[in-house]
Amino acid sequence: MQVLAAPNRAGLFINHCKNVLKKKPSAILREILYEYLEKVIPEKQYLEAKKLDDEEWNRSVQNRLEGRAIAKIVNNIRKANISEAFEDDETLS
């Protein structure tokens, strides 16, 4: 989701977020959006959407962790292959 705002007022918002609130403007907009939705959307519907978002976030984090673990294993295998003398294997002939 993107928000287009007039440049001068957007500048005021960006400066206020960074200098006064010490947060990124996108984080503040997200907080405002979520607070608004909590007020205007039926609670059950909002909580269901939040639950789905949380599950998706957790899957994303898990995928990143697994990807890093796999990359670490591959790097260790490559380092081991480089540092050890490779002997011809009869099964490769």
**pLDDT, tens only, 36-81:** 999 999 999 999 999 999 999 999 999 999 999 999 999 888 888 7
pLDDT classification of 9: cutoffs 50, 70, 90:
very high
Token duo for residue 37: 């939705």
Domain positions in the chain are 1-40, 42-83
pLDDT over 90, % of the chain: 75
Is residue 47 within 8 Å of 53, Cβ to Cβ? Answer: no
pLDDT for the residue numbered 84: 62
Is residue 36 within 8 Å of 3, Cβ to Cβ? Answer: no
| Pairwise CA distance, residues 58 & 23, whole Å | 23
According to DSSP H, which parts of the chain are helical? 7-16, 25-40, 43-83
